[in-house]
Amino acid sequence: MQPTLTTGAEGLEIRWADGTVGAFPYIWLRDTDPAGFHPKTGERTFDLTTVPLDVRPREARVTPEALLVTWEGQVEPSRFDLDWIKTHRPGQRRHDPADIAPVAWRAELGGAGVPRHEADGIATSDTALARWLADTKRYGLSIVTGLADTTEAGLAVARRVGHLRETNFGLTFEVVSKPDPNNLAYTSDALPLHTDLTNQELPPGYQFLHCLANEARGGGSTFCDGVAVARDLRARDPEAFEVLSTVTVPFRFHDRHTDIRSRKTVIALDTRGEVSEICFNAHLADILDLDPGIMTPFYRAYRLLMEMTRDPAYGIALRLGAGEMVVFDNRRVLHGREAFDPATGFRHLHGCYVDRGEWDSRIRVLAREQG
Amino acid sequence: MQPTLTTGAEGLEIRWADGTVGAFPYIWLRDTDPAGFHPKTGERTFDLTTVPLDVRPREARVTPEALLVTWEGQVEPSRFDLDWIKTHRPGQRRHDPADIAPVAWRAELGGAGVPRHEADGIATSDTALARWLADTKRYGLSIVTGLADTTEAGLAVARRVGHLRETNFGLTFEVVSKPDPNNLAYTSDALPLHTDLTNQELPPGYQFLHCLANEARGGGSTFCDGVAVARDLRARDPEAFEVLSTVTVPFRFHDRHTDIRSRKTVIALDTRGEVSEICFNAHLADILDLDPGIMTPFYRAYRLLMEMTRDPAYGIALRLGAGEMVVFDNRRVLHGREAFDPATGFRHLHGCYVDRGEWDSRIRVLAREQG
């Protein structure tokens, strides 16, 4: 059945047979005319300033396939495919294959519950790559297995997603105990659960830690899901959640060559109000400069979140072996490690980052190929 | 004169001879004890969960140089240098050498008013480098002169600041007219004023465009200061400013290999409510998906901003010559170009980005060296 069209003063309305109603302001229709996009680049070439804000059609009609709108002073009508305009109607968010809802997990997941994917499959099959990308995004964490014993093997997996995110620690980094560390990761100390580089305006997204050797006593890897912790905090103590998602605090890393600072909330929410990010790193939290009045409520909330991250109800432990690589969303999943004794053996992880933007882009491009 | 100390239930107060008063919650003092920071990395090693939220001192006193606080159950007092604690008192933002206020500029600046700096000085002198960094941040724009006729010459200037920001267009890019463009920049069309890569979660910060050849007719570069335009919009039409700084809109770039999307406001404000960023790119603005009710107010505000960016009151034009490089804050200063006729000669710009974080870091490190 052909949809019905009603024209009004500022826009027109289309009512489909299934009950869907779309309200289309005329200015939106003019700006969205498919003819106003570059045939090769897909970018908008139409210039909004060439029409008045109150642009009106001379005629508008629907055929079984299309909405046709003829503008004042124009001969050829703008043609909108009816299915297309239905899915793109104002107020309707565009479908996004990368919009994968996080599955919040707690200690019950266990090391055994972490999704595991073969490096070979990721390297050779787009289907396997797409599955791994989706799984890792859903849980914020996965293990890639069967890697060759070279630093290049881990990077090759990362580059299947996109280009690496360089930071002041380089394009890639070695997690080993170093004699003159500029960072606690480069000691043999235990590292409580944290997210990396919270001092950056955009902390790196997915982190890849390829285990090349783990012979030292200790040195297990620990993880907890920041989304699970933050959601539980929201239910348990809304006031603390409010403080952590609205008060910005200073983060800083500085060494001989750099001094990188950023202010941000510990919990970030997306436009829908859902937890989208955790910035939690006590080492990089700068001297707190909050107003004295908010200082105590902030410490209360922050300390509560810190205790929750250490609660055995949330954490899982993994002991990575050579040839395994853990991959996790650094802006969601907190990571840490047990102390290790460098005298008992070598521990060597090789790391890099790929940002969330590249991750999601790869998911979308693969979804396109797979229909 | 020695400052006076008053202890209270939840914190202590110090009153300096110059009238400065600092209110120091006990939990802040405990968390900020200089002994709780790693001697080599400077990172906080103190673990907040090891003390109760209502931690109290057994004794607190001031000497002419220091505040000494002895905690319950501890022998050695926490020692705070009095000058240090004065500058770091709660509510007082930490001094930041990179906190350089933007000088908003309009057409009166003219091409001749754009700060110009010699590549040689930047390469060889930290003082010249620091001056150029500050100038470029202040105006959002500068020209580096005297570059050698190689793509490497421009990159060397960028690398004096920090590592390059890679994007889906590569680590560096060539702006030339191409036969099969995936981007309007790679055509010979005019480009209206815009900011680059608004479809990225973090659009690139400083952009470097090194002119290697500009022999074609046309092809001048145009710029306008987004901070000036946004501030004037705020004064002229607060409602439009409100819409553009609160309503998030979708941006998208997609080609064969990528599909990168991000939602953001056209105008972003910092924590002080000042304009910190402009995201303005009509080509990359995706089909607008706003609710029908906000669509017309948004188009009104957006179209007004667009018209302001084209107003001759704001724009300046530059004709770059070979050996010159324009450097600008892509998140503040809009750039564009006149159309050119590729039949009349070659036009070749070589570009790269360095993010704001690296820029500010370099300013801070140089300020440290220069006292």
CA distance A77 to chain B (A): 19
Between CA A307 and CA A286 the distance in angstroms is: 20
C-beta of residue A350 within 8 angstroms of C-beta of residue A212: yes
What percent of chain A lies above the pLDDT cut of 90? 84
Between CA A174 and CA A195 the distance in angstroms is: 17
pLDDT at B370: 66
Instruction: Give the H or E element holding residue B223.
Output: strand B221-225
A contact residues 110-149, partner B, Cβ 8 Å cutoff: none
Amino acid occupying residue B164: L
pLDDT at A75: 87
pLDDT at B149: 93
Q: Is the pLDDT of residue A347 over 90?
A: no
Q: Which residue shows structure tokens 């370099």? A: B362
With CB atoms and an 8 Å threshold, state whether A183 touches B291. no
CA distance A301 to chain B (A): 10
Between CA A103 and CA A109 the distance in angstroms is: 11
Amino acid occupying residue B343: A
Find, in chain A, the residue whose alpha carbon is nearest to that of B287: A32
B contact residues 31-70, partner A, Cβ 8 Å cutoff: 31-32, 38, 40-45, 47-49, 53
Average pLDDT, chain B: 94
Q: Are strands A66-71 and A78-81 parallel, antiparallel or unpaired?
A: antiparallel
Query: How many residues make up chain B in this entry?
Result: 371
Between CA B54 and CA B8 the distance in angstroms is: 12
DSSP state, residue B154? H
With CB atoms and an 8 Å threshold, state whether A356 touches B201. yes
Closest CA to B207 of B312, B117, B331: B331
Sorted by sequence, the CB contacts under 8 Å of residue B177 that are 6+ apart come out as B186, B187, B188, B340, B342, B347
Does B250 contact A at CB distance below 8 Å? yes
Q: Is the pLDDT of residue B318 over 80?
A: yes
Q: Is the pLDDT of residue B371 over 70?
A: no
Instruction: Give the H or E element holding residue A231.
Output: helix A226-236
ipTM: 0.94
Q: Which residue shows structure tokens 């001759």? A: B312
Contacts of A31 in chain B (CB under 8 A): 288, 299
With CB atoms and an 8 Å threshold, state whether A295 touches B355. no
Average pLDDT, chain A: 94
What mean pLDDT is predicted for residues A328-343?
91
CA distance A271 to chain B (A): 8
CA distance A294 to chain B (A): 9
B contact residues 179-238, partner A, Cβ 8 Å cutoff: 180-184, 192, 200-202
Q: How far apart are the first and last CA of chain B?
A: 27
Could you give the domains of chain A?
4-87 (3.30.2020.30), 108-369 (3.60.130.10)
Confidence of residue A371 (pLDDT cuts 50, 70, 90): low
Cα distances (angstroms) measured from residue A114 to each of A108, A143, A163, A318, A323: 11, 7, 25, 9, 16
Q: Is the pLDDT of residue B283 over 60?
A: yes
- Please write the tens of the pLDDT for every residue from A7-39: 999 999 999 999 999 999 999 999 999 999 988
In this structure, what are the phi and psi dihedrals at residue A228, rounded to the nearest 5 degrees? -65, -45
What mean pLDDT is predicted for residues A342-365?
93
Cα distances (angstroms) measured from residue A320 to each of A116, A144, A218, A330, B36: 12, 10, 11, 18, 31
DSSP state, residue B287? P
User: How many other CB atoms sit within 10 Å of the CB of residue B271?
Assistant: 11
pLDDT at A239: 98
Closest CA to A206 of A163, A259, A177, A250: A163
Between CA B64 and CA B81 the distance in angstroms is: 10
What percent of chain B lies above the pLDDT cut of 90? 83
Look at A357-371, B222-236, B272-286 and tell me which has the smallest mean pLDDT.
A357-371
Q: How far apart are the first and last CA of chain A?
A: 27
CA distance B339 to chain A (A): 14
Contacts of A204 in chain B (CB under 8 A): none
With CB atoms and an 8 Å threshold, state whether A201 touches B357. yes
With CB atoms and an 8 Å threshold, state whether A261 touches B289. no
Cα angle for residues B312, B315, B320 (degrees, 5° grid): 130
DSSP string, A43-95: -B---GGGS-TT--EEEEEE-SSEEEEEETT-SSPEEEEHHHHHHT-TTPPPP
Q: Are strands A191-194 and A333-337 parallel, antiparallel or unpaired?
A: antiparallel
Amino acid occupying residue A172: T
pLDDT at B181: 67
DSSP string, B53-96: TT--EEEEEE-SSEEEEEETT-SSPEEEEHHHHHHT-TTPPPP-
Between CA A116 and CA A325 the distance in angstroms is: 10
User: How many other CB atoms sit within 10 Å of the CB of residue A42?
Assistant: 15
A contact residues 73-102, partner B, Cβ 8 Å cutoff: 88, 90-94, 96, 98
Between CA B31 and CA B47 the distance in angstroms is: 8
With CB atoms and an 8 Å threshold, state whether B284 touches A93. no
Between CA A59 and CA A151 the distance in angstroms is: 64
Confidence of residue B5 (pLDDT cuts 50, 70, 90): very high
Find, in chain A, the residue whose alpha carbon is nearest to that of B283: A44
CA distance B44 to chain A (A): 4
Closest CA to A360 of B251, B261, B255: B261
What mean pLDDT is predicted for residues B266-288?
95
More confident residue, A348 or B241: B241
Sorted by sequence, the CB contacts under 8 Å of residue B333 that are 6+ apart come out as B140, B141, B195, B223, B224, B225, B226
With CB atoms and an 8 Å threshold, state whether A357 touches B287. no
User: How many other CB atoms sit within 10 Å of the CB of residue A83?
Assistant: 11
With CB atoms and an 8 Å threshold, state whether B261 touches A96. yes
C-beta of residue A229 within 8 angstroms of C-beta of residue A314: yes
Between CA A162 and CA A157 the distance in angstroms is: 9
What mean pLDDT is predicted for residues B264-284?
95
- Please write the tens of the pLDDT for every residue from A286-302: 999 999 999 999 999 99
Give the strands of the sheet with B11-15, arranged side by side: B4-7, B11-15, B21-25
Nearest to A53 among B47, B96, B300 (CB): B300
What mean pLDDT is predicted for residues B4-15?
96
CA distance A256 to chain B (A): 8
For residue B41, count CB atoms less than 10 angstroms from its CB and return exposed for 0-12, middle for 13-18, buried for 19 or more: buried
pLDDT at A179: 62
- Please write the tens of the pLDDT for every residue from B152-207: 999 999 999 999 999 999 999 988 876 666 777 767 778 899 999 999 999 999 99
